[in-house]
Structure 1
Amino acid sequence: MSRKLLKLKGAFDLRPWYQRNDYLGWIMRAKRDATKVRRLQQMLDELRAGDAYMNMAWRPRR
């Protein structure tokens, strides 16, 4: 696995369980493949940035 993917996987794993569950359900409920891809890309962008959760501001607890 590439370093970038491992970093995103780590960012995903650090999110609270409810956020991981919300993201996966939200992506899987999309009817069109194009919508699934768009939602997946949004999730990945938010994980990269680290300051958003489903288009809402989010800060991890330290």
Structure 2
Amino acid sequence: MSADSSGLKRPRYPMPDFVKNALDERGLMLAYKQRPDYQQNDYIGWIDRAKRQETKEKRLLQMLDELEAGGVYMNMKHPASEKG
């Protein structure tokens, strides 16, 4: 993979269908797209690198919960994404 026009220096991970479906089902695609490119990419890479399916699902749920709550990124405070 090569860097794309988003300015990321790391490879851009393609979004797996199960992640896209989960974002659509929970109505969180907009919240996902509003996050910086590096966060979108980190979430996808982190989820997809899990070896076990149950770990992928656990990570996916964490991402969805963080997007829904706002103000959190990878269990860290992220004031820029807080919901008002």
TM-score, scaled relative to structure 2: 0.64
Pick the structure with greater CA Rg: 2
Aligned-pair Cα RMSD in Å: 2.0
Does residue 42 of the first structure (1) align with residue 62 of the second (2)?
yes
Structure 1 Cα separation of the partners of residues 26 and 33 of structure 2: 10
Matched letter for residue 72 of structure 2: A
Q: TM-score, normalised by structure 1?
A: 0.86
**Comparing both structures, which one devotes a greater share of its residues to helix?**
1
Residue of structure 2 equivalent to 1:33 = 53
Runs of 4+ in 1 over 3 A off after TM superposition: 4-7
Distance in 2, matches of 1:7 and 1:60, equals 20
Q: Of 37, 43, 66, which residue of structure 2 is paired with 1:17?
A: 37
State how many pairs are aligned.
59
Determine helix, strand or coil for the equivalent of 1:30.
coil
Displacement of 1:26: 0.1
